Structure 1
Amino acid sequence: MKLGFDKWVVVLTVTTAALLQTIDSSIVNVTLNQMMGNLGASLGDISWVVTGYAAASAVMITMSGWLSAKLGRRNYFAASIVVFTIASVFCGLSTNVWELVFFRVLQGIGGGGLLTTAQSILIQTFPKEDIGIANAIFGMGVIIGPSIGPTLGGYITDNLSWNWVFYINIPFGILATVMTYAYIKEPAEKVAAGSMDWLALIMLTVGIGGLQIILEKGQENDWFDSRFITLMTTAAVLCIVGFIWRQLTVDIPILDLRLLRRRRYAVGTLFNFILGFGLFASVFIIPVFCQTILGFTASQTGLLLMPGSIATGLMMPVVGGLLRKNFTSPIVYAGIGFLMFFGFCFDLSFISLEAGPDYFFWPLIVRGIGMGLIFIPLTTVTLADLKPVEIPQGSALSNTIRQLGGTFGTAIMTTYISTRTVFHSSRLGDNISVYNPLSADRLRQYTQLFLSKGDALVTATSKAYRLLQGSVVKQALVMTYADAFLIIGGFFLVCVPLLLLFIGKKIEAPAHVEMAME
């Protein structure tokens, strides 16, 4: 199989652009702790750096097909890279958390068009006999991004600063833009762009944004005791209901919700939401826990996450090969994957302050293998009953739902951690009393420690109480994160019996899924 030089450059170009998007979706996770310190942000504030990017990407996925037809595939692809790169510069220059969030949203607008457009470029550039090797190289690039993102981010953060996780995009963005205009061609057959349903897009944006604000700020504003949260809820509900109604009634919807009438597709889309919820939430809270509670450096945290990501990358071609040989149903592989993900979460629900890097190794390997077992089988089952003409819309809707699951998962876990920490702190604080032998003994030890350093009795006693209170808060955080892991695992455990909803006629992979597994 021989590929011409120009086609190899096309593969390199789209893979470079995809790497920009996939690396940036994970590279910031290990820098969040330093960002919180440097920008004076809370955990709730800094979570917008992750969710703002993901939500903007989700909205842009719905527009990418229309924009590609309207502007030209090459022009739209290059514009996405330019927007992403310029936004990266301003992310690095941000002086407060809300500046950073704003420019991360712009990054998401650029990044949302990269992956879907890159895949369409490959499919339309290569003949059918060569598409397998092109997709394999592109797929490896997509897998490598999340694998090296946290490790690269940790190294940059420890040796430079968090700003440089964004500046590193600049040379690659410039290179990808130049290569796009030099080597990527417009398809011979132009696709009519039609008209964009701007009303539906506005309702989708307001609905997603409103829900995000409610989840992030509801606890802080006492939920529905706040007029702001009540108004935001009303606006979000009306916009989401209006968006659903419009997509079911117009001739050319931006997201074809009518596909959800297909039972397998609807169930698979629900699973994609849960997959996004668990994946994004766990990838968000693990680095924060390791750095904030256990005192790991950014580099240690990045290296911690890398083996699991590599395990996912290695498993995907293996599972693809097994599916092609029809050893068993894709449902079986997905079921094993969901159970493994639950096992990972259940193991981490016993986390303690004594946990070191070795404690996370095997649970993260288990999660990585589980993800590999879930991803391709779930895609195969979800799209199996769709007609070829329906697959682009089906894939776009499924990807959007997975992104939304990730944004909501991160927001919900952030709110849960805030509220649950208060609960555990209160429960543990009730035991701090001079009448409790254990706490009295601990107070006595701390007081003697400060007395031995020359403090007066009143000062030593006050410091002892503060030190004990700090220990209580830290233990409450450990208990809260343990609960959070168990909740995430519960979502995946519930999926196992729900897989029975897929049972029906024999499942065969659509053509584009088979090509991706070659």
Structure 2
Amino acid sequence: MSRPRALAYMLAATMLAMTQQVGANLVTTNVYQIQGELGATVAETNWLIAAYMAPNVSLSIALIKIRMQYGLRNFAEISIAGFVIAALLNFFVHDLQSALVVRFMSGIAAAPLSSLAFLYMIEPLQPRQKLTVGLSLALTNTTLGIPITRLLSPSLLEIGGFHGLALFEMGLALVAFGLVYALPLTTPPRVKVIGPLDGVSYLLLALGFGAIAVALSLGRIYWWLEAPWLGWLFAGAILCLTLAAVIELHRQSPLIDIRWLTSPATLHYATVLLLFRIVLAEQTVGASNFFQVLGFQNEQTMPLYGVILVAILAGGFTCATLLRPGRENAFYAVALVCIMAGALLDSSATNLTRPDDIHLSQALVAYGSALFLPAAMGQGLAPALARGPVYILSFFVIFLFTQSIGGLLGSALFGSFITLRTSFHYSQLAEHFSLANPLVADRIQQLGGAYGHVLTDLGLTRAEGVTLLAQQATREATVLAYNDAFLLIAVIAGSALIGLLTHLAILHLRERFVAPATTPAPAPQP
């Protein structure tokens, strides 16, 4: 393939990844900005995130077999056409109900784009580069969605509000549509791989993963112990996934290999992926929500996300240049060091912290996240490719579960921890609020004095002062809670680093000091 044509395929991969990522993050990064246009509360607007994620978290599992049986070319053309139609439907959204239907359809239509972006990125590369350079660049594209969406959203909202966001998403989809039709992928021979029970197994997996996705998206908002339907969702998910596992264990050609998924090596790999995805909530949820609490809008955090974007690109090019089979543990160690250092720096924030103050810490976290994903996927994908299609599907079940569900789990755990610690710190601060304390009384008088020119009743003035003092205490308690969360993530990353180094040391000592199991016997004497 000529160099210009190879660059065109890489451009197509980037456009597909941006189309999928920007579409996935448009609502997540602009919940407070679009709720007014939809006439909904913040809690109701978060249902849009749940509606998108419910089908999206599992559909890629079915699409792998569909692509193999019906042809890659047909798969690519129909997939991108479906996404264009879903993007077009956003222009008919005028309330929450219509938005929920369209976001559900968008979640279905966006599922094939991530795999197409991966395939377009590795198409022009030599075989030896596909799982190093190609994998690194493809996964770097998938992590650029949040910073790019936050950089573009303020201007798009100013131009056209929610429909301005939808217009940009449709523009990306149309460009990707043209590139897909102009640049065909190499189509492997079609293989009949869809069995009669695949539909039943996938339906149960989709229901189980979808229920978990909805519960994790909304549990922190409605609170876990106060909404009984959250418990029913988790119970239904357990039932569906259990039935799917029973069916798959008794099939000759299963959709996924349950025994391989539950092997010690696979569980260890899944735990590593899930742990990293949880600690990366420090950036995807922590930093953005922290500044929302302090009253900052997306426009004021744009320089910060520009720094994050540059750091992700630097991490991706580092992987493309240096990542080779056998070096994954070194990349894990560097990624953990970066995340731990960034979280430690963020754990000393105050209510005077501004986006400019955390450029270094967030750059470290972004760089660490960009180092981790290519190394992790490369380490797991190569053995799966060597073992056949069933193991490829099983590997993608692990990877998708830990990245999609793991991302939601990290956000849910991080947000719930913040809520609990905020209540704790507020109760600690409130113990010192006594009007008998001259400092507290003086502070209430100062705060209430702001209303002195409109309120003549001293009792009402004092009540307003107490309200403002409670608001300040809540803000300080929230800042302390975020510091606790950042410190907890630093501890988790540090513990994981110690565990990784200990594991590598044990393996090294075992290889060095364990004697050979057998020694050649001396020849018998005549």
TM range (shorter): 0.7 to 0.9
The structure-2 alpha-carbon separation of the partners of 1:325 and 1:109, relative to structure 1 and needing over 3 Å to count, comes to closer
State the match for 1:509 in structure 2: none
State the match for 1:84 in structure 2: 83
Instruction: Find out whether 1:245 has 2:243 as its counterpart.
Output: no
CA distance in 1, matches of 2:248, 2:288: 39
Amino acid across the alignment from 1:87: A
Structure 1 gaps of 5+ residues are 507-518
Task: Using structure 1 for the length normalisation, give the TM-score.
Answer: 0.83
CA distance in 2, matches of 1:268, 1:190: 31
Equivalent pair of 2:282/2:486 in contact (CA under 8 Å)? no
Q: CA deviation at 1:364?
A: 0.6
Equivalent pair of 2:421/2:481 in contact (CA under 8 Å)? yes
State the match for 2:106 in structure 1: 107
Q: CA deviation at 1:111?
A: 1.7
Amino acid across the alignment from 1:399: F
Q: Which has the greater radius of gyration?
A: 2
State the match for 1:2 in structure 2: 2
Q: Please show how residues 405-444 of structure 1 align to structure 2 within 5 Å.
A: 405-444=406-445
State the match for 2:479 in structure 1: 478
Equivalent pair of 1:346/1:485 in contact (CA under 8 Å)? yes
Q: Please show how residues 277-296 of structure 1 align to structure 2 within 5 Å.
A: 277-280=278-281, 282-290=283-291, 292-296=292-296
Identical aligned pairs, as a percentage? 20
**Which string of whole-angstrom CA distances, capped at 9 and with x for unpartnered residues, describes residues 433-473 of structure 1?**
21233321211212333225553323312221221222222
**Which string of whole-angstrom CA distances, capped at 9 and with x for unpartnered residues, describes residues 197-253 of structure 1?**
222222222222333444455577675676534433332222222233333333333
CA distance in 2, matches of 1:361, 1:414: 22
- More deviation, 189-198/364-373: 189-198
Q: CA deviation at 1:386?
A: 4.2
Equivalent pair of 1:281/1:406 in contact (CA under 8 Å)? no
The structure-2 alpha-carbon separation of the partners of 1:137 and 1:317, relative to structure 1 and needing over 3 Å to count, comes to closer
Amino acid across the alignment from 2:344: F
State the match for 2:297 in structure 1: 297
CA distance in 1, matches of 2:451, 2:138: 60
Equivalent pair of 2:40/2:96 in contact (CA under 8 Å)? yes
Instruction: Find out whether 1:32 has 2:31 as its counterpart.
Output: yes
Q: CA deviation at 1:186?
A: 6.6
State the match for 1:514 in structure 2: none
Q: CA deviation at 1:406?
A: 0.6
**Which string of whole-angstrom CA distances, capped at 9 and with x for unpartnered residues, describes residues 354-388 of structure 1?**
01121120111111222233223323433465451
CA distance in 2, matches of 1:426, 1:136: 47
Q: Secondary structure at the match of 1:314?
A: helix
Instruction: Find out whether 1:200 has 2:201 as its counterpart.
Output: yes
CA distance in 2, matches of 1:68, 1:489: 41
Amino acid across the alignment from 1:21: Q
Q: How many residues align?
A: 502
State the match for 2:257 in structure 1: 256
Q: Secondary structure at the match of 2:161?
A: coil
Instruction: Find out whether 1:315 has 2:315 as its counterpart.
Output: yes
Instruction: Find out whether 1:374 has 2:359 as its counterpart.
Output: no
Q: CA deviation at 1:36?
A: 4.2
Q: Secondary structure at the match of 2:280?
A: helix
The structure-2 alpha-carbon separation of the partners of 1:130 and 1:206, relative to structure 1 and needing over 3 Å to count, comes to closer
Equivalent pair of 1:216/1:415 in contact (CA under 8 Å)? no
CA distance in 1, matches of 2:116, 2:380: 21
Amino acid across the alignment from 2:459: V
Q: Secondary structure at the match of 1:410?
A: helix
CA distance in 2, matches of 1:295, 1:52: 28
**Which string of whole-angstrom CA distances, capped at 9 and with x for unpartnered residues, describes residues 290-325 of structure 1?**
1x3222231222331231232122123324433439
The structure-2 alpha-carbon separation of the partners of 1:36 and 1:226, relative to structure 1 and needing over 3 Å to count, comes to closer
Equivalent pair of 1:333/1:377 in contact (CA under 8 Å)? yes
CA distance in 1, matches of 2:489, 2:49: 18
Equivalent pair of 1:62/1:396 in contact (CA under 8 Å)? yes
Task: Using structure 2 for the length normalisation, give the TM-score.
Answer: 0.82
CA distance in 1, matches of 2:493, 2:381: 21
CA distance in 1, matches of 2:439, 2:209: 49
